[in-house]
Amino acid sequence: MTRIDDTFARLKAQNRKAFVTYIMAGDPDAATTAKVMAGLPGAGVDIIEIGLPFTDPMADGPTIQLAGQRALEGGMTLQGVLDLITEFRKSDDTTPIVLMGYYNPIYSRGVDRFLADAKAAGIDGMIVVDLPPEEDTELCTPAQAAGLNFIRLATPTSDEKRLPKVLQNTSGFLYYVSINGITGTGSADAAKVAPEVARIKQSTDLPVIVGFGIKTPDASEAIAAVADGCVVGSAIVDRIAQGDSVQDVLAYVKTLADGAHRG
């Protein structure tokens, strides 16, 4: 059982939905990321996704691409991300952390070394968007053996033929992408998401969390109501990019969390 598994068990017992947030590590700098991370649980966040900046983020829209560029220009590295998480764990040993990124930095470090370091830092799971199920032996299987959840993305095009492959070896939760396309574009539509979540849940007992296109408390409430929870990323990253104070960012996050928890 990981912290992710424990969190969903607790939320289920409380009949509550999960609220998940994404922030880019090192945007605009490591100190700001540390302050935002430290404040997220108090703002109602159940699970934190932290982005590992990469030079070629093919699944991300302009908002997260630019955040990654700023982080890299500021000197953020994989080791820097691990250091941020290690520091966070000194004061919070319960909130699950999911590392979200691309395989190249992990491959460069070496899978065995990375997994040992990730576990030691306090990472609970990972989303590596450019490793399909056909490549499970690269990272997914070793990660599961190391006690880390490997979380996959399903999309509106994950049909009955593809879905079993997506669910293969997935653990923690399934991340359902509410729209076709990249992050930060479009708006999630609960009426369209609901039947897709129901279809997926016929094939898995995993919690289904919906992300992409959620920007308001009403949207987080509507999406959480038809799933096991929701993820907000680009809208929060936008606030950070605009130069909002940490206090203002966390206040905004709390409105979204309150919406999701009403769902």
The pLDDT value recorded for residue 59 is 76
CA angle 164, 167, 171 (to 5 degrees): 160
70-115 residue pLDDT tens: 999 999 999 999 999 999 999 999 999 999 999 999 999 999 999 9
- Strands (E) in 145-192, as ranges, are 149-150, 153-154, 174-177
Gyration radius (Cα) of the chain, Å: 17
The pLDDT value recorded for residue 186 is 61
12-47 residue pLDDT tens: 999 999 999 999 999 999 999 999 999 999 999 999
Alpha carbon distance 201, 206 (integer Å): 8
Alpha carbon distance 122, 88 (integer Å): 9
The pLDDT value recorded for residue 180 is 61
* Cα–Cα distance list, 63 to 59, 98, 224, 259 (Å): 12, 20, 23, 23
Q: Copy the structure tokens of residue 261.
A: 């928890």
- Label residues 62-92 b or e (16+ Cβ within 10 Å = b): ebbbbbbebbbebebbbebbbbbbeebbeee
pLDDT band at 213 (very low <50, low <70, confident <90, very high): confident
What CATH number corresponds to the domain at position 195?
3.20.20.70
Range with the lowest mean pLDDT among 57-61, 138-142, 249-253?
Answer: 57-61
The pLDDT value recorded for residue 157 is 86
> Does the pLDDT value for residue 179 go beyond 80?
no
Which is nearest to 79 in space by CA: 109, 100, 51? 109
Quote the DSSP letter at residue 133: G
The pLDDT value recorded for residue 240 is 97
**4 three-state secondary structure:** helix
Residue 244's contacts (CB-CB under 8 Å, 6 or more residues apart) are: 252
Number of domains composing the chain: 1
The pLDDT value recorded for residue 145 is 96
Angle separating helix axes 246-262 and 30-39, nearest 10 degrees? 40
Range of the domain at 188: 3-262
18 beta partners: 229
| Mean pLDDT computed over 200-212 | 95
Q: Which residues are known to be catalytic?
A: 49, 60
Mean residue pLDDT of the chain comes to 94
The pLDDT value recorded for residue 181 is 54
Cis geometry, peptide bond prior to residue 28 (ω within 30 degrees of 0)? yes
Burial class (CB in 10 A: 0-12, 13-18, 19+), 258: middle
Q: Copy the structure tokens of residue 247.
A: 């206090």
Alpha carbon distance 209, 100 (integer Å): 15
The pLDDT value recorded for residue 187 is 74
The pLDDT value recorded for residue 172 is 97
The pLDDT value recorded for residue 183 is 53
pLDDT > 70 fraction of the chain, expressed in percent and rounded: 97
Confirm if 134 and 110 have CB atoms less than 8 A apart.
no
104-144 residue pLDDT tens: 999 999 999 999 999 999 999 999 999 999 999 999 999 99
